[in-house]
Amino acid sequence: NAGVTQTPKFQVLKTGQSMTLQCAQDMNHEYMSWYRQDPGMGLRLIHYSVGAGITDQGEVPNGYNVSRSTTEDFPLRLLSAAPSQTSVYFCASSYQSQGMRTDTQYFGPGTRLTVL
Amino acid sequence: GNSVTQMEGPVTLSEEAFLTINCTYTATGYPSLFWYVQYPGEGLQLLLKATKADDKGSNKGFEATYRKETTSFHLEKGSVQVSDSAVYFCALSGLNAGGTSYGKLTFGQGTILTVHP
């Protein structure tokens, strides 16, 4: 059971380049999310998914696309990278049991992205 | 909307000192509250959580009590160790009208804790 995995661990892009950050989980969780972490700002939600084929925007979605074709995978796409997207990106997954008031999120190890 | 405010850091303590990290929140509805910890170079791990008023979450000697009247969830530890040096995040998970959180968390800005021997 690998939990939540993210690739790559580090990436350097030039302004205007595109790339996909990969995220996979093997816990059969229905919910998956992407966050970015910036100094002094905590983590902010980019996009989230409540199941295969269903995604929605979070707090800071501009410049990012997502799709969820399977329960396991939730890739994050940067269509045209900008220096403002330099950050550490975390993927998370969770589920909410029937009758439970909340879920527990499991985070991946993160991808450190630098856009020059 | 939802928001979380943590005390400004960084916090520097000597080993065995008492730790308090303040956290207050604003939320619509009745959120669940969490403390996450991030050790250097790693992702976030859940430290403790509380899902209703007056609940006390505890783990590894850390405690936090859900205070609805003061909208607070302060983190405390009676005697810190060097190994507790990390970044601590307070977070909340709001529920929609159907009682679902959808895995969406709102985080505070994080507090860097450094413990010296």
The pLDDT profile of chain B, 117 residues, written as one tens digit per residue, is: 889 999 878 999 999 999 999 999 998 778 889 999 999 888 899 999 998 899 999 999 999 999 999 999 999 999 999 999 999 999 998 776 666 667 789 999 999 999 999
Contacts of A43 in chain B (CB under 8 A): 44, 89, 91, 105, 107
Query: Across the interface, which of B6, B43, B51 has its CB nearest the CB of A102?
Result: B51
Query: Across the interface, which of B4, B6, B103 has its CB nearest the CB of A94?
Result: B103
Indicate which of A43, A71, A107 best probes the interface with B, i.e. most B CBs within 10 Å of its own CB: A43
The DSSP annotation for chain A comes to ---EEEE-SEEEE-TT--EEEEEEESS--SEEEEEEEETTTEEEEEEEEEETTEEEE-SS-TTEEE--SSSSB--EEESS--GGG-EEEEEEEE---TT-S----EE---EEEEE-
Query: Across the interface, which of A45, A109, A110 has its CB nearest the CB of B104?
Result: A45
Nearest chain A Cα distance for residue B114, angstroms: 16
Give the residue among A112, A114, A93 at the shortest CA–CA distance from A104. A93
Express the helix, strand and coil content of chain B in percent, nearest 5 each: 5, 50, 50
Residue A1: pLDDT over 90:
no
φ, ψ at A31 (rounded to 5°): -100, 135
Give the residue among A40, A36, A34, A102 at the shortest CA–CA distance from A68. A34
Residue A49: pLDDT over 60:
yes
Q: Residue B99 corresponds to which amino acid?
A: G
Residue tagged 């994050």 (tokens)? A76
Give the residue among A29, A33, A73, A24 at the shortest CA–CA distance from A55. A33
Residue A23: pLDDT over 90:
yes
Work out the end-to-end distance of chain B between its first and last CA atoms, rounded to an integer number of angstroms.
41
What pLDDT was estimated at residue B88?
Answer: 96
Classified as helix, coil or strand, B110 is coil
Classified as helix, coil or strand, B82 is helix
**Structure confidence by residue, pLDDT tens digits, A68-113:** 999 999 999 999 999 999 999 999 998 776 666 567 789 999 999 9
How many inter-chain contacts (A to B, CB under 8 Å) are there?
72
What pLDDT was estimated at residue B97?
Answer: 61
Task: State whether A102 and B101 contact (CB < 8 Å).
Answer: yes
- How far apart are alpha carbons A109 and B50 in whole angstroms? 24
Give the residue among B111, B116, B47 at the shortest CA–CA distance from B83. B116
- The answer for residues whose C-beta is within 8 angstroms of residue B66's C-beta and 6 or more apart is B33, B50, B51, B52, B53, B54, B55, B56, B57, B73
Tokens of B89: 């995040």
Mean pLDDT of chain A: 92
CB B93 within 8 A of CB A103: yes
What pLDDT was estimated at residue B96?
Answer: 66
Q: Using a pLDDT cut of 90, give the percent of chain A over it.
A: 80
A40 inside 8 A of chain B by CB: yes
**Structure confidence by residue, pLDDT tens digits, B61-86:** 999 999 999 999 999 999 999 999 99
B103 inside 8 A of chain A by CB: yes
